[in-house]
Amino acid sequence: MIEVKVPQLPESVTDATLLSWHKKPGEAVKRDENLVDLETDKVVLEVPAPASGVLQEIHQPDGATVSSGELLATLEEGAAAETAAGEAGSKDSKDSKDSKDSKAGKGSTETAASTEATTHKLSPSVRRLIEEHELDPAKIRGSGRDGRISKSDVLAHLDGDKDTGSKPQSDTVAPAAAGERNERRVPMTRLRARIAERLVDAQQTA
């Protein structure tokens, strides 16, 4: 049996939240394949498989709070495990081939995923405003700390692109402002909460 443990967490971080498992007990895994995501208030960590085998048991469920060195799961090695991993690899290859044509038509989805990765430091309300107007966050000048983008930065960018649309834009923003209050009632993850706090600090000191 091989133990999968929580890696050494960043300095000043005492624990992490287990976001989600990518494998289930009994499924084959490959060496260095990501098994689970851990989130701290600073970063999201991936925990790779230390060896190829079969996921035998999960010791920590989604949403659990864990610390460095804590046992997450156990893997089973052996010929049977390697065979299962090979079969899983063949199935993945076949699925990948079968879905190749459909993936070609998902350019917009991939673009949205890329935008999500680029805007992971934005607050939910700012991200929503950017997506509604189909803007590229890389082209918006941020006035906050470390160049972070605020809602006023997005509005200023829109005003610059559409000189005659200031009033309609104001009407469009009003529902977003109301939505912002609703979004704050939804529990945020630790990382998003920390980003929101920093955004508020940046707006207050700007």
pLDDT tens-digit series, residues 103-119: 555 555 555 555 554 45
Confidence of residue 166 (pLDDT cuts 50, 70, 90): very low
CB 94 within 8 A of CB 74: no
pLDDT tens-digit series, residues 37-61: 998 887 888 999 999 999 999 999 9
Helices 107-118 and 124-132 meet at what angle, rounded to 10? 140
- Domain spans of the chain, in order of start: 2-104, 107-205
Helices 190-205 and 124-132 meet at what angle, rounded to 10? 80
In sequence order, what are the residues at sequence separation of 6 or more whose Cβ sits closer than 8 angstroms to the Cβ of residue 98? none
CB 14 within 8 A of CB 41: no
Q: Is the pTM value of this prediction over 0.85? A: no
pLDDT of residue 30 exceeding 50, the answer is yes
User: What architecture is the 2-104 domain classified under in CATH?
Assistant: Beta Barrel (2.40)
Chain centroid to CA 183: how far? 18
**To which H or E segment does residue 120 belong?**
none
